[in-house]
Amino acid sequence: MVGDKKKFLVRLRKETLAPFNECLKALEEAKYDYDKAKGLLFKKSIKHSSSTSSGDSELPEGKIFQVHTEDYSIAALFCMRAETDFVTNSADFKSTASEIADILLNYLQKGENKTLSLEEFLKLQSTKDELTVEQKISSLSSITKETIKITELIVSPVSEEKCLNLSYVHHNNKLGAILSLKTGEKTDIENIFEIKKLVLHYAASNCLFLTEEEVCPNWLEQEKIN
């Protein structure tokens, strides 16, 4: 049993980055139930992060993450930001973003309500550890000692017509886009790889306008002069 306790302590320290004494306290309080001890540490770190937060600050670094349902009926992007690229490039940042993406996808797959505000997104709860998106971010912030926030959420528009909703994120996670294509009854996902090239070009083209009606007359006149 002593060997198991030591393994739990080392594992808990490695996965949470909490001090050894805090890990030991959590394990003892949880009577060496590992999952319960991990949950206790998360709650303590979240509380500490909230109490020591200095409020909003500039978050110049960020990454975009994407999710989509298996049938491409819904797609979503969210942007998670921090103070330095050291944090946004870290394994913990990417791991937390992946967990948050799973929470978002699970919610969207239920199809209960495709319209989701940023505030509602932050309140979504994980089915694995019952922590909310907001709590996961606070926990990560307490580990990195940086302010971390999800600043933007984009979900493909709700439509009564048959649509393919395609998401794309550039390899550096700095550029992303969602493209909704009306397909009617013939929804072709067999050639989805070729269709996905559309959203890639759309993201790279930096479009100012999507329809003729959106074109600004002043911009048009200026282009004629140039």
- Please report the domains of the chain, with CATH numbers, ordered by start residue: 1-50 (1.10.8.10), 56-214 (3.30.479.20)
Cβ within 8 Å of residue 136, ≥6 positions away: 96, 99, 100, 126
The 10s digit of each residue's pLDDT in 155-202 is 998 776 788 899 999 999 999 999 888 886 666 667 788 888 888 888
CA distances from 209 to 202, 213, 219 (A): 11, 9, 11
In order, the DSSP letters of 64-94 are EEEEE-TTSS-EEEEEEEES-HHHHTSHHHH
Mean pLDDT value of segment 91-107 = 96
Indicate whether 56 pLDDT > 70: no
Alpha-carbon span 23 to 41, nearest angstrom: 7
- Burial per residue of 68-77, b for 16 or more beta-carbon CB atoms within 10 angstroms, e otherwise: beeebbbbbb
Alpha-carbon span 27 to 35, nearest angstrom: 9
User: In this structure, what token pair is assigned to residue 206?
Assistant: 């930096």
User: In this structure, what token pair is assigned to residue 223?
Assistant: 């282009």
Q: What is the pTM of this model?
A: 0.71
